[in-house]
Structures are given as C-alpha cells and as structure tokens.
Structure 1
Amino acid sequence: MLLSEITETSRAVAATSGRRAKIELLAACLRDTGPAETAMAVAYLSGELPQRQIGVGWAALRDLPPAAAAATLTVAEVDAAFTAIGAVSGKGSVTARRHLVGELFSRATAAEQSFLLRLLSGELRQGALDGVMADTIAAAADVPATEVRRAVMFRGSLGAVAAVALSAGRTGLRAFGLEVGRPVRPMLAASAPSVEAALEKVSPAAVEWKLDGIRVQAHVSEGEVRLFTRTLDDITARLPETVTALGALPVRTAVFDGELIALRDDGRPHPFQITSARAASHGVRPGTEQAVPLSVFLFDVLHLDGEDLIDLPGARRDDALARVVPDALRMPRVVTSSVDEAGAFFRDALAHGHEGVLVKSLDTPYTAGRRGAGWIKVKPRHTLDLVVLAVEWGHGRRRGKLSNLHLGARDPETGDFVMLGKTFKGLTDEMLAWQTKHLLDLETHRDEFTVYVRPELVVEIAFDGVQRSPRYPGGMALRFARVLRYRPDKSAAEADTVDGVRAVAAFT
C-alpha cells in the first residue's frame, strides 16, 4: 500500500464530522492493506508510531527537503525508515537521525510530508481514537465490535488485533485471551467528590485505601515473577524485593493487580518522588533514596492457577485473592453500604497519609483499559490528570524557565484536548527545571511568549472548583489550579476527559 492512500484517508477523515462516516472511510482503507501492512496502517491512522518513540524532535523537522513530484513511498518503506531512525544511538546520533529524516521526506509528496510531519509531532488528531478504530476494525473485518474490543483488551494492541481480524475473522479474535506473562491494560476509576456520592452510585461496595504509589501488574508462573507498569513496561529487574515477595506466594500461575509504595518506619508513605525514584532504579543501592524498599499492596486477581477470573464479579475475585495472598500483602478494605462506616474508613486512610479511597462495585467484572462506573475514586481535594498543551516563559526569578502551563482535558469524541486554563502555581525550582527540559523536547512551534508542545505530558492538578468561562472553548475553567506533580507513568490517553470535568463541576 502506498503512503498516499493513508494520507488521503487521513485528510478525508479529518474533514468528516460524523462518527459513522469516519468509520466507513477508515474501514475502506484497512480492507486494502496487505497482511503485513494492517498494523502499520492502524497505527498511522490513529496518529501513533508502532515504534512509539524514535527520537525525532521538532528541531529535526524544521528544515525539510523539497517534496517529491509523485507518490512512490509505501507504508512498509516508511515503517522501515522509522525503525532505522529509532535504532540510531551514540555519538553523532542527532546528525544521523536528521539525515535519515531528510532522506524519508525527500521521497514524500507535499501532502505526504504534511502527514508525516503531523504524525511525528503528535499533531495528527483527526478523530480516529481507540473507540473509533475498534469499530473501524469491526466494520472492515465484518465482525462484532464487542469481540474486537475484547481482543484488544487482552492483546493491548489495536494493530495486532486488526491484522488477525482481517485475516482470520471471528475465529482468530476468539483465540485472544489472558496470557500469563503478557500484560493487559489496567482497569481505571471514575471520580466522585465524596464517599456519600460514590455510594449513591455503588452500594454495597468494597472501600479500599487509595495509595499515592506505582500501579503494578504482577504475572507469576511457577515461581517466576514479571512486573509491569500501567503503561505495560517491564520493570521486573528493578524490583528484586517485590519479585521475592510475590514469588513465595502459594500459586502456580497468577496475574495480580496492585500498588507499590515506599513506606516509612511508622507505616506512613514517603513522598511520591521517593517511590517513583525507587521504581525507576535498577536494584537497591545502599546509602541512597533507592535503598528504600517498596511495599506491595495487591487488590485484584485476574488469573489464578489456570483459571481466568477477569469476567467474574469483584466479590468473587476478592475471595480468590484472599485465598492465596496474606493480609500483609493485600490492600486494606471494608465492605459496607453505610456512609458513616465508609466515611470513617476514608478518614482512617487519610490519617495513614494516603490519598483517599476507591469505592468498588462487588458485581462488576475487570474492565481492562476502561474507566467504568464500577470503580470510583474519592480524594479529599479535587484533582485532575490533565495534559500540557503549551507553556509560557517565566518572568523575574523564573526568567529562562518554562513556567505558566496551558492545561487541557481530553475530548473522547474528537481526540482533541480542550483547554481549561493556565497555572504556574505549585511549581518548585526542581519542577521548573524538569519541565523546561522535558517540554522543550516536546516542542512543535513557538511564538514570542509561548512554546507549543505535543500533547503527551500528563500533570496532576489540584483545584478548588470549576466555573463557567466564555474565555475557553469548553465553556469552563478551573478555579485556583495548582500543580501537584507530573505523571510520566500515564499516557495522554489516560488523562481525564471533558465529561469527567463536567461531572466534577456539578458538585463544585
């Protein structure tokens, strides 16, 4: 398949507002792909790279060669070029990558150059989100969308599922299942402003501590343990104490969901930065913060000794968890329908230094990769995970640093990010230095005062409320927004949505 076919489809999809019409255009394109091209096409049409990161920043895309007169580039050739660019490392790698980028762009027409530029800069937002692409795969392969979504839940890759759906149909999709050793996307929680509001939606419920730690998915097979982050990265080698603790459990095979956190001698948590640094380090290094061990708190089990539990109600999964995991390694919880009892448990969680609680349905299955109504998080303050869209240069003692953040929530319908306001509050000198470096790496363009960036970096924002505002496209703005911390462990697709902000606004 020629890249021009992808480019034309992308242009047509961006010009189309209706969801069904977008799906028809995308499905027609996928039907024309060969077996080896399907996954690449899905990635490109979703605005992603199969390689994830290839080390190409805005600087490498500023001076492009003249466009080719005719369309000759194939999708496979583009993929090979991206792989080659990503493989460059060592001394002179910046120059080498820029040379390879120039070679690729010299073979692209003007329309293809525009497409590649937006693809590499993260600006290809045309409404082909995961939900739309799942329905597209179903339409292209003539299979039920529910079966596509279930396969994606287990495989974690739209492209891989699309390749199977188009080549093997429903039979191929049904072969996907939970595999010990292959991580699935974690189940996500919605938000409520209070325990009482959460229990109005889910009752009776299990109420658990919500920790400010690192989400971990642990796969155990015959004593061998592998640990994955919420972004499905393998961090097994970094956490020998966690491997030892879980390897001793009385199970043959298991998949657990849980949280890792650094605790002080009195049981209260260390600052999140210590937990994060420990999870990012390779082993325990005496005399440093990395020497702090991480405690394990498991709260769910998706597979146990040959049986998949992912579709079972929450209460049955917890029973299975309790059979094989001792109390010391399990998340504290109480099952109740009483607002007073749940409120007391919430206050106890806060007294132990934790973020709040999760209120969980006893009936819901484990919906991997989705933010369903079955889990609801409650914190004592309003917080949102938002995406940095741009940042302004600072003044005074912040001169030379990127300071004032432009914050956006995800629009699940269009894939765009809706700006909710700006803030420079809560930033320490260390955070200012960190964000200046990282946001410049994400730069797409700038003007005199503002650096515009690829919408990839997630930041946790505390705020006092949401108010109406004609100043911003979403018609609302955050009141007294302030930065709590950056969340490099989260992707932009996991940021809070505009609908979630509106739900919070109803209570503020």
Structure 2
Amino acid sequence: MLFSEVVETSAAVAATRSRLAKVAALAGLVRRSTTPAVVSFLVGAPSQGRVGAGFRTVFDLSVPPDGEATLTVSDVDEALGAFAGISGKGAAGRRAEALAGLFSRATESEQDFLRRLLTGELRQGALEGVMLDAIAKASDVPGEVVRRAFMLSGSLSETASAALSTGVEGLSAFRLQVGRPVRPMLASPAASLPEALAELGSCVVEHKLDGARIQVHRQGDEVRVFTRTLREITASVPELVELVRGLACDSVVLDGETLALDDSGKPRPFQETMSRFGAQDTRELLLSPFFFDCLHRDGVDLLDEPLRARLAALRDIAGEHVIPGLSDPDGDRAAAVLDEALDAGHEGVMVKSLESVYAAGRRGRAWQKVKPVHTLDLVVLGVEWGSGRRKGLLSNLHLGARDPDGGPPMMVGKTFKGLTDELLAWQTRELLAIATDKSEWVVEVRPELVIEIELDGVQTSTRYPGGVALRFARVVRYRPDKDAAEADTIDTVRALSHKAGGAIG
C-alpha cells in the first residue's frame, strides 16, 4: 500500500466533523491494509512508539521532496524502525542521515505528515474510539468484541490484524495477561450524590482519593506497577512492590490509587506523589496504596464478574489496603461517607454499580464521581505572555475540551487564575518546549498537556466553536498522569451549561 493513501485518508478524516464520515474513511483503508503500521499511522503514532526524533531535528530538516508518490507504508515503517535502532558512537550523524534519506523519498505532503507524525502533532488519542469503530466496520465484527480485544491487547494494530484475519474467533482469543497492563475503567461526573444513588441502584460508595492511579500485577514473586497511561514505574516504587509481594495470593491484578500521606494521615500535595514516579529507588517520600478493584486472582480472570464479586476477592487479598467505602448504603449513610472523605482531605466519593463488569478504557455511567467543587480536565491549546509582574512568563491559558469524534480539541475558555509563581515558571518551560507557533502575544502548543480546572459554571457562547464558555475558571493543577485522550469531552462541558443556567451547585 502506498504511504500517500494513508496521508490522504488522514487529511480526509481531519477535514470532516462527522463521526460516520471519519469511520467510513478509516474503515475503507483499514480493510485494504497489508501492514499493521497503517492503523498506527492513522492515529498519529509510529508502530514502534517514540522513535527518538527531536522536534528541532525534524523541523529543521530541509530536504527537497520527491515529485512522485512511490513510498509504501512498509518502506516508512521499516525506515522508522531502523532509525529507532541507531545508537552508539556517531549515532547523531547516522540518525540525521537516515532521516534525510527517508524524507528525500517523500512528496511534500508526505514530508509534512512525517514531520507531524514524528513530533507527536498527529497523535490523536481521541481518535482511538473512532478507529475501533472503523476496525469493527472493516471486519464486520461487533464493536463490543473489538473494544474488549483492544482493552486486553493494548494495541490497535494487533486488534485490527486479528479482526481482519480471523474475526470474532481471533479477537476472542485475547486474554488478560498478568504483567501486561489493561486500560483502566473510567468514571463520569455525577450531578449529585442523590442522583448517582438513584441512577445506579445497588452500589458501593467509596472515598475518591486525591492520588495517582496505579495498576499492579503480580506473578509469583515478580511484581510490576503501571500508571493510568500504562507506563511502567516498578523501579520507582519499591515500597509498593514489597507490599504487593506480601499479599496472600500467587497471582493478582489490582486497580487502585497511591498517594503520599502526611503525619496526620491526610494526603500530601498531588505533585509530591507524582514526583515519585520519576525517581529511582528512593524512600524519601513513601507512598501508600489503596486498592478498589481486583481483575485477576490466582489464575482466574474476574473482568466479567460483577463488581460485588470482585470486591469480595479484593477484600480477601488486600485487607487493610482496600479503599474505604460502604456497600448498599441509604442516602444518609452515603452522605456520611462523603463527609468522611472530605474530612480526611480527599476529593469526594465514587459511586459504583455493584452489578457492573470492568469496562476497561471506557468512561461509562456505571462508575460516577461526586465532588463538592466541580472540575474539568482540559487540554492546553495555547498560552499568552503575561504582563506586569508576570512579564516574561507564559500566563493566560487557552483551554480545550476533547472532541469525542476524533477531531482537534475545541476551545472553551481561558484562565490565568490559580497559578503560583512556581507553576508559572514550570509551565513557561514546559509549554515553550512543545510550542508549534509563536507570536508577540500568543504561543500555540501541541495539545498534549492536561490541566485540571475548577469552575463556577458553563454558559452558552458564540465566542468559541464548541458553543460554550467556562465561567470563573481557575487552575487546580496539571495532570501529568493523564494524556489528552482522557480529557473531558465537549459533550461533558455542554451538559454543564444546562444545569441551573450554567451555575454548578
């Protein structure tokens, strides 16, 4: 397959806001694909993951384009694989030469695609859901079967290959594998605690901790720990490894949160917890784990068991390390759990249906989060230079919500409130590092940093393309544990505009 077909299809997908049109365009190419790299390229990622091509190296490369499209997808995939494998003495020069060789064989539009592919500008985590629908359409397989296989494999290209070659039978062969992380199940915001209780019926109400999501896998004495983005951090958290190794089981997969606590047992700032994920074997700041789900126990997968059964297994294994909560509470007892969580310094509570299966990677209504202060996880699209005491620093943030149909994030507001001097200095460094365009007033950036925003409400507005605008938005914190595919959608933001005229109580 010619690489130009991937480039043309990607452009067609970007040019339409119709989910059906995106699915049709992607499915047409996936159906004819002969290499798994097609799927990877279409969602904006090399099949090898990050290949180590720096932003400046790629965009400073000046090579005359080829006038004819002759590159195949396999040519590009093999060239990127070879590029990623170059190391040792003189590697920089050999890598530059290899990259120039690839670009010399590409047309102008293919070069543009390659630049954006290698620097992450094409990376569209939000397009994964659309691609899964496209794989289902291309292979004539039910979407739920495709999504489950992706949940367990973690690879869109592997999922597509199995769907196209062996259909339902091949996809059904994917199993949870201890040591290989699965995509975490996500929660939706609830309007209020009483509404969540009424909607879910038989449920558990648990503390919602202000920590970092972890997934731990144990097989015998081997323990591996992953973040919510499936990045392995085992070497950074030896105290968690030691604790999990001591649990009463032979093999287990647990979902939970970890956080640093102060001497009174209350959570330390989120940034302190996250700082441990980049450290190597340090015990200067100990992390405490709290588990809320069990996906596998001693050779038995529990993903399809109701939460009630998974919690029973969890309590047997994790004991005192199970997150505090209460099953089947009435309204008064549920409210008491919320008060206890807030008094302990946590964010609020989670309300989960006890009949729900573990729908990994999906943000459904079976799990709902209740917080007294409403927040949104948004993507930073750009930032304005500050003035006065903030002169020389990037200050006023442009905020975007995720398009659930795979398009670029939609701007919903700006804010410079809530930024400390330390955070201003940090975001200036980080945002300049991912800048795509700069003017006298505004720096546009790759839409990859997620930031948590507190707000008083949402109102309808013609100022922004999504038709809504945030009211009195304030920065809570950056979320390095999340990627842009986990940001709140424009649909979530729009839904808030209908609550009491846009005010959030």
TM-score under structure 1 length normalisation: 0.92
Q: Which amino acid aligns with 2:107?
A: T
Alignment of 1:204-243 (within 5 A): 204-243=202-241
Structure 1: which 5+ runs fail to align? 286-290
Alignment of 1:13-162 (within 5 A): 13-16=13-16, 18-34=18-34, 37-38=35-36, 40-53=37-50, 54-57=52-55, 60-62=58-60, 64-86=62-84, 100-124=98-122, 129-162=127-160
Partner of residue 454, structure 1: 446
* Among 431, 452, 473, the residue aligned to 2:423: 431
Deviation at 1:11, TM superposition (A): 3.0
Specify whether residues 128 and 493 from structure 1 end up closer, same or farther in structure 2 by C-alpha distance, changes over 3 A only: closer
SS at match of 2:29: helix
Q: Which amino acid aligns with 2:402?
A: R
Partner of residue 333, structure 1: 325
Q: Are 1:5 and 2:5 an aligned pair?
A: yes
User: Is this contact kept in 1: 2:17–2:407, CA < 8 A?
Assistant: no
Alignment of 1:479-498 (within 5 A): 479-498=471-490
CA offset digits 1:322-359 (Å, max 9, x no partner): 12221x21100012342222112111111111111111
Q: Are 1:303 and 2:296 an aligned pair?
A: yes
Q: Distance in 2 between matches of 1:83 and 1:486?
A: 33
Specify whether residues 478 and 12 from structure 1 end up closer, same or farther in structure 2 by C-alpha distance, changes over 3 A only: closer
Q: Distance in 1 between matches of 2:362 and 2:401?
A: 17
* Among 312, 316, 335, the residue aligned to 1:323: 316
User: Is this contact kept in 1: 2:126–2:485, CA < 8 A?
Assistant: no
Q: Distance in 1 between matches of 2:427 and 2:93?
A: 25
SS at match of 1:325: helix
Specify whether residues 490 and 127 from structure 1 end up closer, same or farther in structure 2 by C-alpha distance, changes over 3 A only: closer
Q: Distance in 2 between matches of 1:125 and 1:431?
A: 26
Q: Are 1:470 and 2:470 an aligned pair?
A: no
Partner of residue 263, structure 1: 261
Specify whether residues 41 and 226 from structure 1 end up closer, same or farther in structure 2 by C-alpha distance, changes over 3 A only: same
Q: Which amino acid aligns with 2:293?
A: D
Partner of residue 173, structure 1: 171
Q: Distance in 2 between matches of 1:82 and 1:392?
A: 36
Specify whether residues 270 and 155 from structure 1 end up closer, same or farther in structure 2 by C-alpha distance, changes over 3 A only: same
Partner of residue 493, structure 2: 501
Specify whether residues 193 and 32 from structure 1 end up closer, same or farther in structure 2 by C-alpha distance, changes over 3 A only: closer
Specify whether residues 120 and 490 from structure 1 end up closer, same or farther in structure 2 by C-alpha distance, changes over 3 A only: same
Q: Which amino acid aligns with 1:43?
A: S
Q: Are 1:422 and 2:419 an aligned pair?
A: no
Partner of residue 191, structure 1: 189
Specify whether residues 83 and 450 from structure 1 end up closer, same or farther in structure 2 by C-alpha distance, changes over 3 A only: farther
* Among 199, 202, 219, the residue aligned to 1:201: 199
Q: Are 1:360 and 2:357 an aligned pair?
A: no
User: Is this contact kept in 1: 2:380–2:445, CA < 8 A?
Assistant: yes
CA offset digits 1:168-225 (Å, max 9, x no partner): 3322211101111110000001002431232232223211111111111111112321
Q: Distance in 2 between matches of 1:207 and 1:201?
A: 13
Q: Which amino acid aligns with 2:24?
A: E
User: Is this contact kept in 1: 2:126–2:402, CA < 8 A?
Assistant: no
Q: Distance in 1 between matches of 2:131 and 2:16?
A: 15
User: Is this contact kept in 1: 2:129–2:406, CA < 8 A?
Assistant: no
* Among 372, 379, 383, the residue aligned to 1:380: 372
RMSD: 2.3
Q: Which amino acid aligns with 1:107?
A: R
Q: Which amino acid aligns with 1:221?
A: Q
Specify whether residues 400 and 102 from structure 1 end up closer, same or farther in structure 2 by C-alpha distance, changes over 3 A only: farther
User: Is this contact kept in 2: 1:391–1:403, CA < 8 A?
Assistant: yes
Identity among equivalent positions (%) equals 54
